[in-house]
Amino acid sequence: MASGKPLSASFFPTNLAALFIGLVVLWRIDQADPTALLRNAVIACLVVAGIIAAVDVLLFKVYRRPSTGLVWDRPGRANLQRVGVRLVGLAITLIVIAFAYWLFPEYHGSFYTPFWMVLRAAAPWLLLITPFYFWYLDRVLQNPVDGYWEVGMLVTGRRPTSWTVIAQHFGGWTVKAFFVPLMVVFLAREIGSTHEALRRISETQLGWYDFLYHVSFLVDLLFCVVGYCLTLRVVDSHIRSTEPTAGGWIVALVCYQPFYSIVESQYLRYEDGYYWGAWLAPHPGIETVWAIAIVVLLFIYALATVSFGLRFSNLTHRGIITSGPYRFSKHPAYLAKNASWWLVSIPFISQQGPTEALRNCAVLLLLNLIYFLRAKTEERHLSRDPAYVTYAQWIERNGLFRGLGRWFHR
């Protein structure tokens, strides 16, 4: 059994440097112009992705990792017929996604306007670059008969070699189709909220808390957008596999819009409008310490996302991360996020009495349980990779919670 910690698929210091430069780009925004705001958000994402990709390729030569499935020593000639079949497979995939967007009313309202704006601007460039990328990759792909090829061959009436490959292909694209629009919209909104919080930072005693609160989510969303969009073999950020169980998908998707709004309003409402600020207002010293604790938890959560670099994504395996907060825990984001909810919403204090406080705590514990199930389904999925098994064993012996939280890491 290996005793050392596996190397992380992403280099944390590079991600931090890219984050800093990306935030500088975001700060140069004209808030009076929504189009300019969105444009700068896209530029910031491109800057972050470009810096990380450049360092990964030039310094760490990630394109030569065996996990990419690429063979660079003996590149062959591209098979144009095979490239054409794979492009047909991509076209079919995109048509299915477009049909889903057209079919479901969720995507017809103004909520997703920022995403449609970005997509319209990016689509011509993607249509221009993609055929060349597929042609170039065909020369070095170890197994070019992949999901794109299997889907493309369906138009000929040929029976697929593997339905599992097709299922994994559409599973990965479903993750992208669901999360990319959501994260683009959230990022655009959070940029505005962060700048507004900065403008009002001196108006209240805890203005700094409001500002840092929004910065933490801005950081998280910036890397979310980059991660969901950039799934490329040449930088080893491609999707190796998607969550294989329905239960894993359910416990993940229920935590995101639009599903969370439906479930939260009827089953998971653990707040009654009384928050920590009002509770601790008579005690400014304790209030400040409480605010610092929340901010620390939120930045642990954000830095956990930063740790992934180009590889952040729910429901997929895109490389094992062992640096940043993952140096101390297998689930730093979930632990920090769930702990912050208890400090922000103070469910144990209710103006409606102790019975309501007890109910609020029970409901929040139920939400915590959902995240516990997410953690367990992710562990089961990632444990198919020997590197994750080695990492999990290393964390059990060396992680921050090797004593107190051993039950969480078993």
180: containing domain: 12-409
**Predicted pLDDT of residue 30:** 56
Q: For residues 305 and 285, what is the distance between their CA atoms, to the nearest angstrom? A: 31
Q: Would residue 3 count as lying in a domain?
A: no
Model pTM? 0.93
Token couple for 146: 């992949």
Q: For residues 8 and 131, what is the distance between their CA atoms, to the nearest angstrom? A: 31
DSSP code of 403? Answer: S
Q: Would residue 6 count as lying in a domain?
A: no
Q: What would the DSSP string read from start to end of 131-151?
A: HHHHHHHHTTBS---SHHHHH
Q: Would residue 2 count as lying in a domain?
A: no
What are the backbone angles phi and psi of residue 317, rounded to the nearest 5°?
-110, 120
CA-wise closest residue to 113 among 43, 121, 196: 121
Helix (H, G, I), strand (E, B) or coil at 242: strand
Q: Would residue 169 count as lying in a domain?
A: yes
Contact between residue 248 and residue 381 where contact means Cβ atoms under 8 Å apart: yes
CA-wise closest residue to 32 among 214, 186, 202, 195: 195
Q: For residues 233 and 319, what is the distance between their CA atoms, to the nearest angstrom? A: 12
Question: Which amino acid, 91?
Answer: A
**Would the CA dihedral through 37, 38, 41, 47 be positive or negative?**
negative
**Predicted pLDDT of residue 410:** 46
Q: Would residue 22 count as lying in a domain?
A: yes
Q: Would residue 382 count as lying in a domain?
A: yes
**Predicted pLDDT of residue 32:** 57
Q: In the chain, how many domains are there?
A: 1
Q: Would residue 7 count as lying in a domain?
A: no
Helix (H, G, I), strand (E, B) or coil at 70: strand
Q: Would residue 1 count as lying in a domain?
A: no
CA-wise closest residue to 10 among 266, 310, 392: 310
Average pLDDT for runs of 10 along the chain of length 410: 79 97 81 73 94 97 95 86 96 98 96 95 95 95 92 89 92 98 95 90 93 97 97 96 97 96 93 92 95 98 98 97 96 98 96 94 97 98 96 91 53
Token couple for 63: 């394109």
What are 70's strand-pairing partners?
141
Contacts of 206 (CB under 8 A, 6+ apart): 277, 287, 288, 291
